[in-house]
Copies of this chain bind each other. A is one copy, B any other.
Amino acid sequence: MADLRPAAVGLRTRLFQIIFESDSRLAKSFDIGLILMILASVAVVMLDSVDSYHSAFGTLFYEAEWAFTLLFTLELAARLYCLERPLKYLTSFYGVIDLLSILPTWLALLFPWGQSLLVVRLLRVLRIFRVLRLMQFVGEGRLLIDALKNSWHQILLFLFGVLMVVIIFSSLVYLIEPPEAGFSNIPTAVYWGVVTLTTVGYGDITPVTPLGQFISMMVMLIGYSIIAVPTGVFSAEVIRSLREQRYSNEACPGCGLDRHEHDSRYCRRCGTWLDEDTQDPRLRDEADGASQQGH
């Protein structure tokens, strides 16, 4: 391929380096420009939903939106152009986000029902993650993501237990409280239960009977106490991740096992002496024994 269209390939390679990588100066400017444009377009979508701003700056917002959409469309075209398998990209996570970022505006132009999709454009905000990842900022969050991966199973189980508690206590309060207090059906009572247990406490539905207030107090105290569970699990995971960073990076000269604890003197797998600068005391003893035998 490189032989067939050298010039075009040169353009594609250069485009690829600018758009998909982040090493050159041009690529970094592109990344920063993209972040700013994404933030600006999200701000426009958000502000346009405010009636007073819409009536005052509606036309400006409309034009800005089209400018952003055209630029994002151009960017997507450039991305697809410089990839070997553009279709595979389009069906990837970021490809779908790219499409969802521009499609609503085009659809709203073509079909009247497209208007209702315009809010989908806010998914553009997810595109920032790609740029951050490129710029290795997200590398900072590796620890967080590792700890989340290790603890999500337990946190899910915790949330399941929370829902059990909520369903049982909510039904109880539903039975006790009069419907006028807002507990008109069980799903609403469960909504109240989640609002209470998570300590959000809107106050749109509150118990009015003494017994209902007493059970609410129990739900609050449970919610206040068991927040310790996800926090404890996650803290333990972060500490474990940090500790694993703390392992010595030295690999065993015998079997190559790495991640020894810092006070290890012998490889825990093959028993080789780890500190190459000094001699293994066992060998010294043996040497002593040998020299003594030699006498």
Chain A interface (Cβ within 8 Å of chain B)?
42, 45-47, 49-51, 116, 119, 122-123, 125-126, 128-129, 137-138, 140-141, 143-144, 147-148, 153-155, 157-159, 161-162, 164, 167-168, 171, 174-175, 184-188, 190-191, 194-204, 206, 210, 213-214, 216-217, 220-221, 223-225, 227-240, 242, 255-273, 275, 280-282
Contact = CB atoms under 8 A, between A and B. Distances in A.
> How many copies of the shown chain assemble into the complex?
4
B262 A271 contact: no
Contacts of A257: 263
B269 A271 contact: no
Contacts of A234: 228-229, 231-232
A259 B271 CA distance: 17
Contact of A256 (B239, B270, B275): B275
A154 B143 contact: yes
15 contacts: A49-B174, A119-B175, A122-B168, A122-B171, A159-B225, A162-B224, A190-B217, A202-B202, A227-B230, A228-B233, A236-B238, A258-B262, A266-B267, A271-B271, A271-B280
